[in-house]
C-alpha cells in the first residue's frame, strides 16, 4: 500500500489525526533504561506499543538516534512497527536537502535501509533536490513549507513576485508540478494557524504534517480548524516530548498513553 493510501486508511481505522514523534533523549529516559545498550529501542518500543491504536503515524527523528549511535536500533524499531502495527505509517524525520547522487543515497537510506513510508525533505535547492526521491513512487515526500520555529519567517515569509509569500509558492509547487506520484505532503507548523489555513486553501486535500502542539505550545483548536480537509482529516498533528516524557518511572509507557489519548480526543473535538 502506498503512503497516501495507508494514511487515509489509518485516519479512519484509528479515528485519529495524532502523529507520535519519537525523539529519544537518553538523558530523559527512566532510570531503568538509561544504562541499557538497547535502551533507545526499548524506550521507543514501549511508547509505540502504548500509543499505536491512537496514532495515525509515528515520526522518528533521525538525529536523536544518530547522536546516540543507535541507527541500527532505529532500523529495528521501524521493522518492529511494520510487523506489530502495520496499519501505522512511519515518517522518517530527517529534513534532507541535497542534489543528484547524494539525494539518491539519502533516498536509499530512508526507503531501502530504514524502510520508512515517508521522509521529510528541504526544498531550498529546488526540484532537482526533490526529484531523486520520486524514484520511490509509493513513498511519501513531506516537504518543509511553513515551519513552527520563529526563525522560519526569515525566509519562508518573504514576499516574491506577484505578492505571494515564499511558503505559499512552495505549497503550490509541492501540490502541483512536484506531486508526480500523488504522494507528496507538506510540513506546516501549528504555531502559525493563519498560514496553515492559507496552505490548506492552496493544496486542497494534500496531507499536512503539523508540528508545534504540546511542548511548543501550538493551539489545538486553531490548528484543527485551520488545517483540516473537507473530510475532517488531512492532518498528521505531531506531538513528541509531551507524550514521550509524560512519565519518569517504569510506568512511562502508561503515562505516555494517557497524554496521547487526551491529545487524540482533544483534536477530535474540532474535526467536524
Query: Which strand ranges, in their side-by-side order, compose the sheet holding 235-239?
Result: 57-60, 18-22, 235-239, 208-210, 184-188, 140-146, 118-121, 91-96
Q: Is 95 among the catalytic positions?
A: yes
Q: Please, what is the angle between helix 39-51 and helix 252-268, to 10°? A: 40
User: Which candidate in 6, 45, 59, 95 is catalytic?
Assistant: 95
Please list the residues that pair with 209 across neighbouring strands. Answer: 187, 236
Residue with cell 518511572: 249
Please list the residues that pair with 238 across neighbouring strands. Answer: 19
Whether 224 and 248 have beta carbons less than 8 Å apart is answered as no
Overall residue count recorded for the chain in this entry: 272
Active site (catalytic) residues: 95
Amino acid at each position: 500500500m502506498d503512503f497516501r493510501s495507508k494514511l487515509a486508511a489509518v485516519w479512519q481505522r484509528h479515528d485519529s489525526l495524532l502523529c507520535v514523534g519519537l525523539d529519544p533523549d537518553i538523558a530523559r529516559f527512566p532510570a531503568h533504561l538509561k544504562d541499557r545498550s538497547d535502551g533507545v529501542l526499548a524506550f521507543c518500543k514501549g511508547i509505540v506499543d502504548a500509543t499505536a491504536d491512537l496514532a495515525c503515524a509515528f515520526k522518528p527523528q533521525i538525529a536523536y538516534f544518530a547522536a546516540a549511535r543507535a541507527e541500527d536500533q532505529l532500523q529495528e524499531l521501524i521493522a518492529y512497527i511494520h510487523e506489530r502495527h502495520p496499519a501505522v505509517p512511519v515518517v522518517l524525520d530527517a529534513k534532507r536537502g541535497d542534489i543528484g547522487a547524494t539525494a539518491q543515497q539519502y533516498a536509499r537510506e530512508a526507503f531501502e535501509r530504514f524502510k520508512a513510508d515517508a521522509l521529510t525533505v528541504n526544498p531550498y535547492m529546488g526540484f532537482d533536490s526533490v526529484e531523486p526521491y520520486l524514484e520511490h513512487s509509493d513513498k511519501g515526500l513531506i516537504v518543509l513549507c511553513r515551519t513552527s520555529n520563529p526563525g522560519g519567517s526569515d525566509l519562508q515569509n518573504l514576499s516574491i513576485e506577484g505578492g505571494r509569500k515564499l511558503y505559499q509558492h512552495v505549497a503550490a509547487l509541492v501540490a502541483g508540478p512536484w506531486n508526480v506520484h500523488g504522494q507528496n505532503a507538506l510540513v506546516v507548523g501549528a504555531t502559525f494557524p493563519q498560514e496553515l489555513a492559507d496552505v490548506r486553501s492552496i493544496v486542497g486535500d494534500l496531507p499536512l504534517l503539523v508540528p508545534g502542539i504540546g511542548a511548543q505550545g501550538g493551539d489545538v483548536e486553531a490548528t484543527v480548524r485551520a488545517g483540516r480537509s473537507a473530510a475532517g482529516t488531512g492532518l498528521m498533528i505531531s506531538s513528541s516530548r509531551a507524550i514521550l516524557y509524560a512519565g519518569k518511572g517504569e510506568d512511562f509507557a502508561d503515562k505516555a498513553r494517557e497524554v496521547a489519548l487526551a491529545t487524540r480526543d482533544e483534536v477530535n473535538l474540532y474535526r467536524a
